[in-house]
Amino acid sequence: MKIFIDTAKLSEIREAISWGIVDGITTNPSLIRKAVEEEKRDMSLEEYVAEILKVAGKDRPVSLEVMSVKAEDMIREAEVLHKKFNDIADNVVIKIPVNTYAGYYEGLKAIKKLSEEGIRVNCTLVMTPEQALLAAKAGAKYVSPFAGRIDDYLRDKKLNMRRGTDYQKGDYYPWEGRNVDDNGIVSGVDLVSTIVDIFVNYNFDTEIIASSMRNARQVREVALTGVDIATIPFKVLEDMLLHPKTEEGVKKFSEDAKKAGYEDLFH
């Protein structure tokens, strides 16, 4: 499974790349906003985005999202972003929502057109297997099912729970023994797994990015589905690394190393 980092913060991107585990980067307008508010110092937004692409380098695709909702506007924005930034490291991918509002089919139109132009598209805000199937047919290079947000949806709508009061964003879901579903999909991991099962039947070039990852266990479970990619926030990467027994072991080993006079070995 490839790992993308789901952030626009340069500090997190640099740190995770230094661990040797990053195959790509995904951003969205909310992540860009957070990075700008917390990190951007004396750079313009354009310089900041250019820096992300440079730090990522040629072999790590970076997803940048459009902001409009009409196909012609999304296509124009995607072309501008691609033209402006792709020469830096040939790694620009454009995020297009699978659909923008009921009754209009702007997402698929934009995906089709951009894919025909050779611009790689990451179809975002995928909440059902059917959307993923249509996006792949329209030519998306990636589809991004939002596992965490489907878990939110099930908890909020089906269980009448309130985020921040009854459960926290990072809580693992589903709970044992609870049986709610969204048209047969019982959790975010189930959404990813169902899309993987569907795509195995066909020769789509489209890769699946398990997105909206909220905790380490969810990453483990999407890895078990054989999904191509998981895009993971920095906090969840930390979560994947930490275990109290690892920390305790390191502490004990370094104490014993000192007591055994280990330093001598390194001169």
Catalytic residues: 95
Shortest approach of ligand E4P to residue 248 CB, angstroms? 31
Question: Of the listed pieces 101-109, 110-118, 144-152, 187-195, which binds ligand E4P according to CB under 6 A?
Answer: 144-152
d(CA 66, CA 80): 10
d(CA 232, CA 212): 8
Shortest approach of ligand E4P to residue 147 CB, angstroms? 8
Asked if 139 interacts with ligand E4P (CB under 6 A), we say no
d(CA 48, CA 54): 10
Tokens (6 digits) for 149: 């947000």
x/- site string to ligand E4P, residues 79 to 118, per CB under 6 A? ----------------------------------------
Instruction: Between 6 and 221, name the residue whose CB sits nearer to ligand E4P.
Output: 6
How far from chain centre, in Å, is Cα 131?
17
Question: Of the listed pieces 10-18, 127-135, 141-149, 190-198, which binds ligand E4P according to CB under 6 A?
Answer: 141-149
Strand pairing class (2-6; 62-65): unpaired
d(CA 43, CA 184): 47
- Collapsing DSSP states into helix, strand and coil, what is residue 71? helix
What does the DSSP assignment read for 78-141?
HHHHHHHHHHHHS-EEEEEES-SSTT--HHHHHHHHHHHTT--EEEEEE-SHHHHHHHHHHT-S
Read off the amino acid at residue 32.
Answer: I
d(CA 199, CA 188): 17
Closest CA to 7 of 241, 170, 213: 213
d(CA 4, CA 24): 4
Asked if 148 interacts with ligand E4P (CB under 6 A), we say yes
Tokens (6 digits) for 150: 């489907």
Question: Which 220-249 positions form the footprint of ligand E4P (CB under 6 A)?
Answer: 231
Asked if 28 interacts with ligand E4P (CB under 6 A), we say yes
Shortest approach of ligand E4P to residue 80 CB, angstroms? 20
Among 6, 12, 207, 239, the residue binding ligand E4P under the rule CB under 6 A is 6
Instruction: Between 170 and 226, name the residue whose CB sits nearer to ligand E4P.
Output: 170
Asked if the bond preceding 61 is cis, omega within 30° of 0, the reply is no
Asked if 149 interacts with ligand E4P (CB under 6 A), we say yes
Asked if 146 interacts with ligand E4P (CB under 6 A), we say yes
Question: Of the listed pieces 102-110, 140-148, 179-187, 246-254, which binds ligand E4P according to CB under 6 A?
Answer: 140-148
Asked if 215 interacts with ligand E4P (CB under 6 A), we say no
Among 144, 215, 218, 225, the residue binding ligand E4P under the rule CB under 6 A is 144
Among 7, 26, 128, 187, the residue binding ligand E4P under the rule CB under 6 A is 26
Question: Of the listed pieces 51-59, 72-80, 145-153, 219-227, which binds ligand E4P according to CB under 6 A?
Answer: 145-153
Write down the residue that tokens 């490291």 correspond to: 89
Q: Which residues bind ligand E4P (CB under 6 A)?
A: 6, 26, 28, 124, 144, 146, 148-149, 211-212, 231
